Amino acid sequence: MRMLILFLTAVVALSGCVKGRRPEIIAHRGASAVAPENTIAAYRLAWEMGADGAETDVHLTKDGKVVALHDKTTKRTAGLDRAIKDLTWDEVRALDAGSWKSPKYAGEKIPSLAEVLETLPPGKKLYLEIKSTKEIVPFLKTIVEESGKRKQVVLIAFDKKTLLAAKAALPGVHTKWLIDSPRDAKGKRGLAIDPAFAAQAKAAGFDGLNVSHLGVTPELVKAANDAGQELHVWTVDNPQRARLLVEMGVVGITTNAPDVMLKEFGR
């Protein structure tokens, strides 16, 4: 009986340790559940909430400005159905990227990457997702180096060649490879991610994997650990789901709602 009590005490203590593990909390496109994604308002709010980092998507304009925008066009978030690569910075700057979210944010602009970096407080990180092809890399390099915040930047991209090019241009800057979960026969996402990506990331010299949470399995977690690759996930807004992923071994949660995650895991 005494042994049983000791065993149960140990199990409870251990589960408390696991539950107490605090993941890195990254605000997806800023605090985008509340403020318009990829705007300065969304980044300021993320820092106010206490996020450990924020994620931003970057594209290149026609005249070589690196801007924070998720889609290839400005239609969804700024009402103009034009490709960002065909617009000049002046044209982009004239757009309203806040009203679609709420009248409260009317007049919010699509920011340049340099402006997003200016909001980045000491000790926090900016996860910089390269959405364009690799011609953006020399521009990125200049902006990141001129910001003086090189050590706070993490480069992420789905395209391996683009991520390798960015890594070569900015040696020593952390890199995490983005992997989506495969789709089922009906095209619905959510199948398991191949654990072999972990060894491939290691061989490429990356620092981690940043994957769709839908594709995480114990096998992927083990492979990432074996390969010395940090495992981050996107995009999780449900605290119970986040808790489960952290208990599996995920160390970073990208979320639209950093306030919700910080309430769950503590600041």
- Only one of the segments 11-19, 125-133, 199-207, 223-231 lies at the binding site for Ca ion (rule: CB under 5 A); that segment is 125-133
Residue with tokens 């318009």: 36
Q: Does 61 bind ligand G3P (CB under 6 A)?
A: no
Residue ranges in 104-143 that form contacts with ligand G3P under rule CB under 6 A: 129
Burial profile 30-53: b = 16 or more Cβ within 10 angstroms, e = fewer: bbbbbbbbbbbbbbebbbebebbb
For 207, the token pair is 């620092």
Whether 61 and 67 have beta carbons less than 8 Å apart is answered as yes
The single residue among 24, 52, 55, 264 that binds ligand G3P, judged by CB under 6 A, is 55
Number of residues this chain uses to bind Ca ion (CB under 5 A): 2
Long-range contacts of 44-48 (CB under 8 A, 24+ apart): 44/119, 46/258, 47/119, 47/120, 47/121, 47/124
The rounded distance, in Å, linking the Cα atoms of 95 and 84 is 12
Choosing from 24, 37, 52, 57, the residue that interacts with Ca ion (CB under 5 A) is 57
Residue 146 or 262 having the CB closest to ligand G3P: 262
Rounded least distance, CB 26 to ligand G3P, Å: 7
Q: Is 178 in the site for ligand G3P (CB under 6 A)?
A: yes
Do 97 and 67 form a contact (C-beta atoms < 8 A)? no
- CB-based burial, 75-100: b 16+ in 10 Å, e otherwise: eebbebebebeebebebbeebbbbbb
The residue within the footprint of Ca ion, chosen from 37, 129, 259, 264 (CB under 5 A), is 129
If contact means CB under 5 to 8 A according to the sort of partner, which of ligand G3P, Ca ion, none does residue 229 touch? none
Q: Does residue 57 interact with ligand G3P by CB under 6 A?
A: yes
**C-beta of 15: minimal distance to ligand G3P in Å?**
29
Q: Closest approach of Cβ 98 to Ca ion, in Å?
A: 19
Identity of the residue, 28 or 202, whose beta carbon is nearer to ligand G3P in the bound complex: 28
User: Which residues within the stretch 70-109 sit at the binding site for ligand G3P (CB under 6 A)?
Assistant: 70
Helix H or strand E segment including 255? strand 252-255
Please select the residue that binds ligand G3P; options are 105, 197, 234, 265, rule is CB under 6 A: 234
Question: For this structure, is 70 an active site residue?
Answer: yes
Whether 165 and 173 have beta carbons less than 8 Å apart is answered as no
Of 59, 70, 174, 232, the catalytic one is: 70
Place of tokens 């398991």: 192
Gap between the terminal Cα atoms of the chain: 40
Q: Which of 28, 174, 213, 232 is catalytic?
A: 28
59 is catalytic: no
Say whether residue 197 binds ligand G3P (CB under 6 A). no
Would you tell me which residues interact with Ca ion (CB under 5 A)?
Answer: 57, 129
Q: Which residue numbers are catalytic?
A: 28, 70
Would you tell me which residues interact with ligand G3P (CB under 6 A)?
Answer: 28, 55, 57, 70, 129, 178, 210, 234, 254
